[in-house]
Chains A and B, each alone.
Chain A
Amino acid sequence: MSIKKDGVIMITIFDDTNQIPEGIEYVKFNDAYFGYSGIISDNEDTRLILKTIDKCEYNNHVSFYNRCGKDFGALSKEHLSTGTKTLLNIINNPDKCFDLIELGHNAFELLAHLSKTHDGYVYSEAPLYFLKSTDDTCSFKYKGKMYDHYFELFDTIYYDGDFDE
């Protein structure tokens, strides 16, 4: 986690790769990036992601216990779902921009939660209609504007999005 110059922790959303600032690497293939560079950190947010999306438990930085239980031993990090890998990529690499194309709807809900405690950059070609928040709060920056409330962001995405004539 890091705090930006203006002191606000947030995840910045881009809908055009040309908007991604110079120096911020764009990562399209989340599975591949996680395979080479990803780790399963031992912290509260990682455990929440593992439990919520893959119904699994942390073991160490390269393996986890799957939903069958510990009797079957630990599985390699490669076996995590793409949604989990994408979220772990985002929270562990605040200097890179990750594509959300493979993120499931359930993972979008966690993204809103994570935006309040992690800096990061994400890119989505499609309008983020599936972005959700359990408590209406978030910390996203979209098209240069900060959003603390999910429904304000959703209005912007929905009404300013692809429905323009």
Chain B
Amino acid sequence: MNDIVKLNFGQKGLHINAELSTGYNMFMGDSGTGKSCFFNKLHSYCTSNNIPVKHITYNNISDINYSDFKIKCKESKFVIFDNGDLYLTQDLLEDIISDDNIILFSVKTAFPYLRSVAMRSVKFDGCELVVF
């Protein structure tokens, strides 16, 4: 059973209220809903609060040493993959999961064979961003 983790924080005028699970959190849906915005804010929040986080995008995926990366992801509390359609594989996701890390990834095409995935949505209205 995956644990529910609730986050509530503000950054630069934006208030964020998020419910996530340990394990996989998959973000799908329309463009412009606030997925990347949430990932960036979560990364900043973790960095400023000394919470171990890995944030991967199409920009930095090529710089990664895979064996080091797997270890660092397992040691991180949050692992974030944005624009996952460009590089993310099921093997990679299965290699980096630990007992208590929280893996967030945004894709347009789902991974149908990945187990225990929580589907997440973002509602970004005015200065309030909610993840549920």
With an 8 A cutoff between CB atoms, is A95 at the interface?
A: no
Smallest CB gap from B14: residue in A: A68
- Closest B residue, CB atoms, query A79: B37
Q: How far is the CA of A68 from the CA of B126 in the complex (A)?
A: 5
Q: Using a CB-CB cutoff of 8 Å, which residues 64-92 of chain A contact chain B?
A: 67-69, 72, 79, 81-84, 86
Interface: B112 (CB within 8 A): no
> Could you tell me which residues of chain B, from 36 to 65, have a CB within 8 Å of some CB in chain A?
36-37, 57-59
A interface list, Cβ under 8 A from B: 28-29, 31-32, 53-55, 67-69, 72, 79, 81-84, 86, 101-107, 126
Q: How far is the CA of A4 from the CA of B31 in the complex (A)?
A: 30
What residue in chain A is nearest B35 (Cβ atoms)? A81
CB of A83 within 8 A of CB of B124, answer no
CA distance A31 to B35 in the complex (A): 14
* Residues on the B chain within 8 Å of A105, using CB: 29-30
Report the bound CA distance from A83 to B34 in whole Å: 11
User: How many residues on chain B are close to A (CB under 8 Å)?
Assistant: 22
16 examples of A-B residue contacts, CB within 8 angstroms: A31-B58, A31-B83, A67-B124, A67-B125, A67-B126, A81-B32, A81-B33, A83-B30, A83-B32, A101-B108, A102-B31, A103-B31, A103-B108, A104-B108, A106-B30, A107-B32
**Interfacial chain B residues near A53, Cβ < 8 Å:** 30-32
Q: How far is the CA of A68 from the CA of B34 in the complex (A)?
A: 12
B41 to chain A minimum Cβ distance, whole angstroms, is 11
Do the beta carbons of A102 and B85 come within 8 Å of each other?
yes
Given contacts A68-B126, A83-B31, A104-B31, are A126 and B109 in contact (CB under 8 A)? Answer: yes
**A32 is contacted by which of B58, B108, B124, B125 (Cβ under 8 Å)?**
B58
State whether the Cβ of B127 lies closer than 8 Å to any Cβ in chain A: yes
Does B86 sit within 8 A of A, measured CB to CB? yes
Assess the A81–B86 pair: CB atoms within 8 A.
no
Q: How far is the CA of A84 from the CA of B58 in the complex (A)?
A: 17
Q: Are A72 and B124 CB-contacts (below 8 A) given A83-B32, A102-B85, A126-B109?
A: no
For the complex of A and B, the 8 pairs showing the least CB-CB separation, nearest first, are: A83-B31, A104-B31, A104-B30, A53-B32, A106-B30, A81-B32, A54-B32, A107-B31
